[in-house]
């Protein structure tokens, strides 16, 4: 498998980075959209507009990017044997946590579209910082490879 993936490594890496950027952009946008939806009731015209936007974000950007990031990331791991290195284990843990965050935020967004308000504006603003923190930690692990 490695002999097939290694020549493709630069392309796999480029694709992984491109779709990681798309995924992160979606994770930055989703909490902001939830903040904009917060003051409106479930049956309001504004809620319908935000429901459409959040649905498109999820279906066109977030979920497809998440899948491609995982597929290409696992291919990269196989190509260079990263699964034997400590930095990769830490990165994988952070990506798993970020994937869980993705699912949790999507669930909260769907609850909001039903008229629930599971998080306050302030909580949404705080939770909106998670992707940036995780991204910084992941990039440091990949570039610096501290262990």
CA distance 18 to 33: 23
| Residue 91 assigned as binding residue | yes
- pLDDT tens-place string over residues 106-124: 999 999 999 999 999 999 9
User: What are the extents of the domains in the chain?
Assistant: 2-144
Binding site annotation covers 16?
Answer: yes
103 neighbors 66 (Cβ within 8 angstroms): no
Query: Per-residue pLDDT tens for 2-60?
Result: 788 889 999 999 999 999 999 999 999 999 999 999 999 888 999 999 999 999 999 99
pLDDT confidence of residue 6: 87
Mean pLDDT score across all residues of the chain: 96
């Amino acid at each position: 498998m490695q002999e097939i993936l290694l020549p493709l490594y630069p392309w796999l890496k480029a694709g992984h980075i491109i779709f990681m950027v798309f995924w992160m952009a979606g994770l930055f946008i989703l909490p902001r959209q939830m903040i904009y939806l917060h003051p409106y009731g479930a049956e309001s015209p504004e809620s319908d507009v935000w429901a459409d936007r959040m649905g498109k974000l999820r279906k066109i950007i977030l979920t497809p990017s998440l899948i491609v990031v995982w597929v290409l990331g696992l291919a990269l791991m196989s190509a260079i044997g990263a699964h034997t290195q400590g930095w990769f284990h830490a990165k994988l843990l952070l990506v798993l946590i970020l994937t869980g965050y993705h699912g949790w935020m999507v669930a909260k967004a769907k609850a909001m579209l039903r008229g629930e308000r599971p998080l306050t504006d302030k909580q949404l603003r705080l939770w909106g910082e998670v992707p940036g923190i995780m991204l910084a930690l992941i990039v440091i692990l990949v570039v610096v490879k501290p262990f």
